[in-house]
Structure 1
Amino acid sequence: MIRLNIHEAKTHLSRYLKHLKDGETIVLCRRNIPIAEIRPLPDARQEYRPIGLAKGTFDVPPDFFDDLPEELLLSFEGNSD
């Protein structure tokens, strides 16, 4: 476990991020009093979803790609007068 004062953490953040990647925990202190703990996240393994996973579960209406009404376009632009 690494204990750092906030100034040291801000000054050398990239150096300490490497320690986090290696599994270390960092305790941030203000005037040597612990105020926060930073821990590495577990590995986020992305599972790939097959193409067409939701095929047949919903229908796209025929007018989906039609132009939007003018008043709706204006409201998106902040001109709802």
Structure 2
Amino acid sequence: MRTVNMHEAKTHLSRLVRAAVDGEPFVIARAGKPMVRVVSIDMPEPGEARRTGFMAGEISVPADFDRMGSREIEAMFEGDG
């Protein structure tokens, strides 16, 4: 992650923000000490997995889901289909 000093951040803020929105977050430092991290609002934290449960309440799984089509599958394997 890129680190910029306070003066550079003030001078080039628009360019730095555009880069952050494009997926290039950066850190602003004062006297070499990191102060803040700038990331796009939609960007997940490093290592954060957002996939699990992302469609909670949007779909329903039938109770017989694990048995759906079992007769047809058996017929294909047994040569009856």
What is the TM-score of this pair, normalised by structure 1?
0.49
Higher helix share: 2
